[in-house]
Amino acid sequence: MKVRSPLSFCILFLAGLIFVVGCVNPATYIKTTTEIESNTKVTASSVRLGFSAWPGWFPWQVAQEQGIFQANKVPVDLKWFDGYLESISTLTAGQIDANSQTLGDTVSSLSGGADQVIVLVNDNSTGNDKVIVREGINSIADLKGKKVAAEEGTVDHFLLLLGLKKAGLQRQDIKFIPLETGKSAAAFVAGQVDATAVFAPFTTQALKRQGSKELFSSKDFPGAISDHLVFTRKFVQEHPDRVQALVDSWFVTLDYMKANLNKAYEIMAKRAGVPVSEYKDYADGTKIFTVEENLKAFQVGNDLGSLQFAAQEMNKFLTEVGLAKSQSDISKLFDDRFVKAYAEKIKTSSPISP
């Protein structure tokens, strides 16, 4: 199975969420933030946490540099992956304890035999994933019979199918061209296809074609592309206290960012390797989830705003496109007790109004 795109060739951070996993060997070389940029002491009790190029995950770097992990008494071995695919395979292999990754990738990992648990919603893509079309295509219905390129099995492929379904079209109604994300954007710019489904920064590349425009994006399908803190079930069972401390650290970091936004942007842009101004432009396409939004997402619902419902849709998608032989058991995938515990903690610690 493929990911959105191996980001090793493009550190332009914000790639969008990706659908993934596959038969890929675990990373053999990993740059770790602790080795390169921090004096944090890594011990046997450290949580090995992976993250990669996506704006919803850069707050982990803020937590590291501002001593928030230490303040919450959780030693963290924060590992930066140049390639998102490496982070997925490394978690699957048990070489790290937790990773920030998409819902689709996690469901896909389950189908491959992994035993993982989602404990937190980092963010949702709210526009960084787009379906871009040539001049003359003005509605989703206009895609019928047209050549549409996307990387098969990715979240952008999933987004494309959601759009078709909304317009009453079937997969067979378009001429689907499976191409790696970068090649998909290039083929569109070259006029070889009529439309493409890609994520930032390839959206910028695709829109260079004269007369091209965005037809729809992840903003039109709230919850379709969500990102999470995912642990191995073994670690959650053996060290629930450390899982709680890491979840607490995430929300404390978000509070820090609200109060120190400019400093936070500097840290995150540096990690991304781009100017602060550019980082701000891309960050608008990602919505970081609050405690309240986390609690709501974990509830059972009948739309993509519910993680349970979204996971079921991902399950269907993976089997329909042939990337999984059967649907995964998602009955134990979500564990909201840590978010609930933090919500209760801040509730009881808040001063009582007179």
* 155-191 per-position pLDDT tens digit: 889 899 999 999 999 999 999 999 988 999 999 999 9
Q: What is the pTM of this model?
A: 0.79
Find out whether 145 and 193 touch, Cβ atoms under 8 Å: no
- In SS3 terms, the chain reads as CCCCCCHHHCCCCCCCCCCCCCCCCCCCCCCEHHHHHCCCCCCCCCEEEEECCCCCCCHHHHHHHCCHHHHCCCCEEEEECCCHHHHHHHHHCCCCCEEEEEHHHHHHHHHCCCCEEEEEEEEEECCCEEEEECCCCCCHHHHCCCEEEECCCCHHHHHHHHHHHHCCCCHHHCEEEECCHHHHHHHHHCCCCCEEEEECCHHHHHCCCCCCEEEEEHHHCCCCCEEEEEEEHHHHHHCHHHHHHHHHHHHHHHHHHHHCHHHHHHHHHHHHCCCHHHHHHHHCCEEECCHHHHHHHCCCCCCCCCHHHHHHHHHHHHHHCCCCCCCCCCCCCECCHHHHHHHHHHHHHCCCCC
pLDDT in tens, 126-156: 998 999 999 999 999 999 999 999 988 778 8
pLDDT at 67 over 80: yes
| pLDDT value at 37 more than 50 | no
Q: Of 201, 189, 22, nearest to 114 (Cα)?
A: 22
Q: Which token pair is 322?
A: 């042939």
Please name the CATH architecture into which domain 7-126+223-349 falls. Answer: 3-Layer(aba) Sandwich (3.40)
Domains 7-126+223-349 and 129-220 alike in fold: yes
Task: Output phi, psi for 316, to 5 deg.
Answer: -60, -45
Residue 150: the pLDDT is: 95
Distance from C-alpha of 119 to C-alpha of 45, rounded to nearest angstrom: 20
* pLDDT value of residue 10: 35
Q: In one letter, which amino acid is 262?
A: N
Domain boundaries, the chain: 7-126+223-349, 129-220
pLDDT tens digits for 279-333? 888 777 899 999 999 999 999 999 999 999 999 999 998 888 777 888 889 999 9
Please report, rounded to a whole number, the percentage of residues in the chain having pLDDT higher than 90.
Answer: 67
- Cα separation, 202 vs 196, in Å, equals 10
Query: φ and ψ at 25, to 5 degrees?
Result: -65, 150
Strands 98-102 and 47-51: parallel
- The CATH class that applies to domain 129-220 reads alpha beta
- pLDDT score for 181: 86
Residue 351 has what pLDDT?
A: 55
What percentage of the chain has pLDDT greater than the value 70? 87
Average pLDDT over the chain reads 86
pLDDT given at position 18: 32
pLDDT tens-place string over residues 3-32 = 443 333 333 333 333 333 333 333 323 344
Residue 40's pLDDT is 53
Query: How many Å is the Cα radius of gyration of the chain?
Result: 20
